[in-house]
Structure 1
Amino acid sequence: MSYILDALKKAERERGLGKIPSLDSTYPPLFTPPAEYSRWLLFAGIGVIGLISASLVWHGMKTSPVIDAQTTVNMPVVRLPTDTPSPLAQQAQVSLLTKTIPTAQPSPPVVYNPLPSVAPKPETATLPALSEIPAYLQQKLPALTINAHVYATEAQQRFVLINGRRYREGMSIQEGMTVESIRSNDVVINYQQKRFRLSVR
C-alpha cells in the first residue's frame, strides 16, 4: 500500500515540475541523512551516556566511606544483684524529702494601673479656625484652599496641597506664613507669629 502511495506522490511531483510553486506545494527534504550517519549518531549517544554513568559510579565508589568489618565478641551478660531498700529506708527518704522542700510563698497580686489618657495640648486644642481669627488678619491672608491632605504617623510622610502646591511641615507658603504642623483633621498655619488652623473637612 505504501508503494502505491509513494508512486502516486512521485507521479504528482513529476506533473507539477513545469508549474509555478504555490503555498500548498510540497517539496522533498533538502537533506536526508544516510542510514549510516544516523547509526553512528546512535552509537555515539549511547557511548556518551555510558561514559557519564561509569564516571558517576566510579566517583561514588571513590567518595563512599569504607566500612571495616569488625569482629563482634559475644560476651555473656552479667547481672549484678540489686538491693531492694527496706520499707523503713524508703519512709526515711520520703520524710527527708518532705522536710527539705520549702512551702511556696503566694505571689503578690498584680495591680493593673491604666495609663492616664493623653489629653491634647491645650495650645493646639484652642487654636482658632481661619474664620475665627481677627478680621484684620483675614484681610492680609491670601485665599487658602486645601486640595489634598495626607496624614501619616511619620512626619516625613505627611504633606498637604494648598492652592495646588505641595507643602510639608515647616515649609513656607509665602513670606511670613509657614505650615507648622499637619494633623489628622487639620493643618496648623503660622502667620506672623499668629497660629490658626485650616480644617480639612
Structure 2
Amino acid sequence: MSYILDALNKSEEEKKQHRTPGLNTIHQKPNNRTSGKRLWMIVASAVVILNLLGLIIWFVFLAEAPKTTAAKIDPLLTTQPVIGQTPPNNNRALSREPRAARPEPALIGSNPSRPVRERPAAQPDPFQASLSRQVKQEISAIRFSSHIFANDASLRMVVINGQSLREGNRFGSGLLLKNITEEGVVVAYQNNEVPISVLSQWADD
C-alpha cells in the first residue's frame, strides 16, 4: 500500500507543477542577485579599463617630455661662445691698418664780416705835397670802419672815424668826400684831390 500511495503522491505533485497558475497561486519574486552581480562586474571592468588608459597616457607623456626639453636645450648650448677662442686673422689685419686722419676743424674768426687786412708801409703821397700840414694830419687820421661800393652811386657808403658818409658829404675841417671807389675814396680839399686806400687806413679793433 505504501508503494501505491507514494506513486499517487508523485503523480499529484507532477500535475501541480504542470498546472497553469490560478488566483490562489503564490507568485514568487524573481531573484535580483544575478542582475546586481552583472552591474557590478560592468562597473569594475570600466574602472579597470580607465585606469589602464591613464597609465598608458602617463607613460607616453613621460617618454616625450625629455625629448622636448633636450630639443630646447641644444640650441642654447650651440650658441654659447667658446672661451679662449682666438679671433680670426681678418680682425688682426683690420686692427693693424692705420686710422684715417680726422680733418681738423677750420678756425672761425670772432668777426668774419671784417677780414684782417695787412696795412702796407706808409709811402709819401705826391697828391698831398701841396696841402698844408693841418690838412695832411687830418687826412692821415682818417680811419675806415665800413666801406660799401656798388655800381649804383646811391648804394655807396663809407664810415670814416665813426661817421657815415656818402658821395658829396663834407667832414672834418672842410674835407669833401668826392668819390667812393673800389679801393677806397677820393677826398677833395679846395682844388686838390687825394685818393685814400681803405687797406692802408682801416680802423683797428
With normalisation by structure 1, the TM-score equals: 0.33
Larger relative contact order (Cα-Cα within 8 Å, sequence gap ≥ 6):
2
Higher helix share: 2
Higher-Rg member (1/2):
2
With normalisation by structure 2, the TM-score equals: 0.32
